[in-house]
Amino acid sequence: MNRLPTQPLGLCLRAALVVAAAVLASGCAFDGPMSTLVARSDLNRSILSVYRIITWATVIIGLLVFVILAVVLLRFRERPGLVAHQIHGHTALEIAWTIAPALVLLIIAIPTIQVIFRTQTAAAPQNALEVRVRGWQWWWEFRYPSLDVVTANEAHVPVGQPIVFVMEGPDVIHSFWVPQLGGKRDVVPGRLNRITLTPEHPGEYWGQCAEFCGASHANMQLRVVVDEPAAFDRWVAAQKAPAPEPSGDGAAGKEIYARSACVGCHTIRGVSAGVLGPDLTHFGSRTLFGAGLWPTTADNVAAWVKDPPALKPGAKMPNLHLSDADSKAVAAYLVGLK
């Protein structure tokens, strides 16, 4: 029986692997919204400085290993009449390959320890703004104790000012992570963790819960909006202002809201004082809702109000069995809260 040649199959397999690797690499974005390689704060610059040291150390070690391997393969390749000599121990080599890794680890350890101590200090810098971060299933609450402002899923901070994010967990373990601003801290019930950083560039920076916390862990997103100081002051003033009075469908929605179970979970200043769900006083000023899942439009909010668990698995907000008309009226009221 003739055997089929295997070499063409091997070449095809290798070519397919090369193509697959190229396609995979083409999907990697250096400066995507969740990239850790784009530094937008002093904290992330410190972390990236350690990454650079580790990367260059790895590159130098890799090149050295491949050069030595090439020399060994070429110099000691099998040749006719060549008899290999047995070597029993080589003191200099054994000392070298013991000391060299220790030096490499020392080179990496010193800046790593310096950055850890610098970023883990509990002392807040002068003029730092404290933001209390509470991780709930499955949304984020941001409280500004010195400003008397509460918001959800969308934090605003001023550029150039030190920010202390103080994290506490009211239910299960979460993890607060905004890659371009740097750092990752667990949000643990019964314990306060901190991240101190100074944002250096205005913009919107996406974050994500980085600790599996239940059915909608993947849907627990957040945004940190870094504003110019004047824009931040305007945002604070708008957040401290009372909620506007609705009209038209919004007025009917306010009545439906006030007589439904919504008041037991949500705060709207002057209307309700619930503490289990996000503060909705200025809900309409947020560009996204549902922990960053949908744009804040009347249609999207109406669909959410009608049946939250259908849109977000495991949502703690129950289905209140509102009619289509009532859902649209409540959505009109909430979208108008700016």
**Residue 225 shares a structural domain with residue 322:** no
Q: What is the structure's pLDDT at 206? A: 95
**Residue 105 shares a structural domain with residue 195:** yes
3-state secondary structure of 197: strand
| Any domain includes 191 | yes
| Any domain includes 170 | yes
| Any domain includes 302 | yes
pLDDT at 6 exceeding the cut of 60: no
Output the domain CATH number for residue 201.
Answer: 2.60.40.420
Question: Among 51, 55, 60, which residue's Cα sits nearest to residue 100?
Answer: 60
The residue among 176, 206, 238 that closes a domain is 238
**Residue 150 shares a structural domain with residue 119:** yes
**Residue 167 shares a structural domain with residue 264:** no
| Any domain includes 109 | yes
| Pairing mode, strands 288-289 and 294-295 | antiparallel
Q: What is the structure's pLDDT at 140? A: 96
CA 258/CA 63 separation, integer angstroms: 69
Query: Going by C-beta distance under 8 Å and a sequence separation of 6 or more, which residues neighbour residue 299?
Result: 331
Radius of gyration of the chain (CA): 28
Tell me which H or E stretch contains 185: strand 184-187
The residue among 210, 238, 266 that closes a domain is 238
- Of the chain, the percentage scoring pLDDT greater than 70 comes to 93
**Residue 167 shares a structural domain with residue 299:** no
Q: What is the structure's pLDDT at 80? A: 79
- For 144-162, how does the pLDDT look when each residue is reduced to its tens digit (9 = 90+)? 999 999 999 999 999 999 9
pLDDT, average across residues 81-106 = 84
**Residue 215 shares a structural domain with residue 253:** no
pLDDT, average across residues 328-337 = 94
**Residue 157 shares a structural domain with residue 288:** no
**Residue 234 shares a structural domain with residue 291:** no
pLDDT at 9 exceeding the cut of 70: no
Number of domains present in the structure of the chain: 2
Dig out the tokens for 164 from the structure: 């202390």
Q: What is the structure's pLDDT at 26? A: 57
| Sign of the alpha-carbon dihedral angle for 78, 82, 88, 90 | negative
| Any domain includes 96 | no
The residue among 238, 264, 282 that closes a domain is 238
Angle at alpha carbon of residue 157, lines to 156 and 163, rounded to 5°: 135
**Residue 48 shares a structural domain with residue 149:** yes
Q: What is the structure's pLDDT at 62? A: 93
Alpha-helix residue ranges (DSSP H) falling in the chain? 7-26, 42-75, 91-119, 229-240, 249-259, 298-306, 308-311, 324-335
**Residue 125 shares a structural domain with residue 270:** no
**Residue 230 shares a structural domain with residue 280:** no
**Residue 193 shares a structural domain with residue 219:** yes
| Any domain includes 89 | no
| Any domain includes 295 | yes
| Any domain includes 118 | yes
DSSP designation for 38: S
Structural domain boundaries enclosing 271? 249-335
